[in-house]
């Protein structure tokens, strides 16, 4: 069994459902301490975080990841126990194989090989590991980043181990992510009998033209790195349950996934302008879960593409699609940042798995990148 697979199995055996790390970070810290890393625990609330660093000079190459996993769902539907990592037909099954304990294992073993072969390397290696990326993300990476920012401790090159491949390892890496802005809109009306609409005011009818305009609006056309900003309604709730009552209110939940062509403020202003245009009486509560971030094609993307080409034999596409990640927090202190990990086809699903052959390959890609970035 190779070192990466062995370490991955240790981590995958821990039932670290968010935000409970169990013993994952302890296992990681012990491995890193053996090769000279200094481990700094930064625990907030129920969330465990570690900042591990070897070296005190630039450039700083940092790996970021999370030891927490999403719940398993109905365990009886799994082919194998989700916390008993199992090899079967060339695949490794367990919750967290792709997202993203195995990537952490690959980076740790890459560090071990790199340090053994380059004991006097110039620069620094670091790992930022959290246990709440899959949860609220309030006490994890964002708080560690705030501490590092206050200390003036910056990152030159950050690799987030999120699963990014679509079909085969290395075919896609993320060099940015869209922002996510949600709104909870409550439109006020007047309740009444449905047979006497002149004595009531239907908020659903009042809101409909504004919602139609919001849905039809072209917010932007995107740019070279991002698709166009999208607006989607996820929930509409109104009524008392009775079919003969005009409701007093209707609540609409919506979300923007937005590019660097927009800002939080620009989207808010345009939405309020449309709502006001229709004379609605409303309350609107906003929630920003992350701004868009981008690393333009440069040294880090080039080094990653070269390493992937040499080890995996595929050409890598740069992408900003998908949801959010902790990269949205880290970019505040990282000059260049990418996400690079396993195939994401089974993440959060029953029978999550990855190819066993991909494990040593990803570790080799990470090691090759260290060599190029710290030479």
**Which are the contacts of 25, defined by CB distance < 8 A and separation ≥ 6?**
48, 49, 50, 67, 129, 131
Residue 11 phi/psi, 5-degree rounding, is -70, -40
**Element at 46 (helix H, strand E):** none
Nearest Cα neighbor of 372 from 294, 311, 325 is: 311
CA 21 to each of CA 38, 133, 295, 342: distance values in angstroms, whole numbers, following the listed order: 20, 11, 30, 21
CA 277 to each of CA 39, 214, 216, 286, 317: distance values in angstroms, whole numbers, following the listed order: 56, 12, 15, 19, 42
In percent, how much of the chain has pLDDT > 70? 100
- Whether the upstream peptide bond of residue 357 has omega within 30° of 0, thus cis, is no
CA 23 to each of CA 12, 115, 179, 203: distance values in angstroms, whole numbers, following the listed order: 11, 25, 32, 52
Q: What would the mean pLDDT of 64-86 be, rounded to a whole number?
A: 98
pTM attached to this predicted model: 0.90
* Arithmetic mean of pLDDT over the chain: 97
What does the alpha-carbon distance between residue 356 and residue 348 come to, in Å, rounded to a whole number? Answer: 19
Report how far Cα 129 is from the mean position of its chain's Cα atoms. 13
Nearest Cα neighbor of 346 from 70, 44, 75 is: 70
What are 4-46's pLDDT values in tens digits? 999 999 999 999 999 999 999 999 999 999 999 999 999 999 9
What are 286-335's pLDDT values in tens digits? 999 889 999 999 999 999 999 999 999 999 999 998 888 999 999 999 99
What does the alpha-carbon distance between residue 229 and residue 258 come to, in Å, rounded to a whole number? Answer: 4
DSSP letters spanning 168-235: STTSEEESEE-EEEEEEEEEE-B-EETT-GGGSB-HHHHHHHHHHHHHH-------SSSPPPEEEEEE
What are 227-276's pLDDT values in tens digits? 999 999 999 999 999 999 999 999 999 999 999 999 999 999 999 999 99
**What amino acid positions are annotated as catalytic residues?**
68, 133
Q: Is the pLDDT of residue 160 over 90?
A: yes
What does the alpha-carbon distance between residue 292 and residue 267 come to, in Å, rounded to a whole number? Answer: 13
């Amino acid at each position: 069994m190779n070192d990466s697979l062995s370490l991955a199995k240790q981590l995958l055996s821990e039932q670290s459902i968010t935000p409970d790390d169990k013993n994952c970070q302890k296992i990681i810290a012990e491995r890193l301490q053996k090769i000279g890393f200094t481990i700094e625990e930064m625990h907030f609330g129920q969330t465990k975080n570690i900042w591990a660093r070897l070296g005190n000079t630039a450039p700083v190459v940092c790996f970021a990841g999370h030891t927490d996993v999403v719940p398993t769902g109905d365990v009886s539907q799994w082919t194998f126990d989700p916390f008993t990592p199992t090899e079967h037909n060339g695949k490794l099954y367990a919750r967290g194989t792709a997202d993203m304990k195995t990537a952490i294992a690959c980076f740790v073993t890459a560090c071990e090989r790199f340090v053994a072969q380059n004991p006097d390397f110039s620069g620094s290696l670091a790992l930022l590991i959290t246990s709440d990326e899959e949860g609220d993300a309030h006490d994890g990476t964002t708080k560690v980043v705030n501490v590092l920012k206050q200390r003036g401790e910056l990152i030159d090159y950050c690799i987030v181990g999120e699963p990014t491949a679509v079909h085969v390892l290395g075919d896609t890496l993320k060099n940015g992510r869209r922002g996510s802005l949600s709104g909870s809109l409550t439109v006020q009306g007047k309740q009444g009998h449905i047979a006497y609409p002149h004595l009531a005011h239907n908020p659903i009818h009042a809101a409909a033209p504004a919602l139609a305009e919001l849905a039809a609006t072209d917010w932007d056309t995107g740019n070279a790195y991002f698709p166009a900003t999208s607006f989607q309604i996820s929930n509409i709730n109104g009524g008392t349950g009775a079919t003969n009552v005009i409701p007093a209110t209707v609540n609409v939940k919506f979300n923007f996934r937005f590019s660097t062509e927009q800002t939080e403020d620009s989207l808010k202003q345009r939405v309020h302008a449309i709502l006001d245009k229709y004379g609605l009486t409303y309350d609107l509560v906003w929630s920003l879960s992350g701004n868009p971030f981008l690393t333009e094609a440069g040294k880090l993307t080039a080094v990653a593409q070269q390493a992937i080409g040499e080890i995996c034999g595929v050409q890598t596409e740069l992408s900003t699609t998908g949801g959010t990640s902790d990269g949205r927090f880290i970019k505040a202190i990282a000059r260049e940042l990418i996400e690079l990990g396993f195939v994401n086809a089974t993440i959060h699903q029953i029978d999550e798995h990855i190819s066993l052959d991909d494990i040593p390959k990803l570790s080799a890609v990470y090691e090759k990148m260290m060599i190029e970035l710290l030479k």
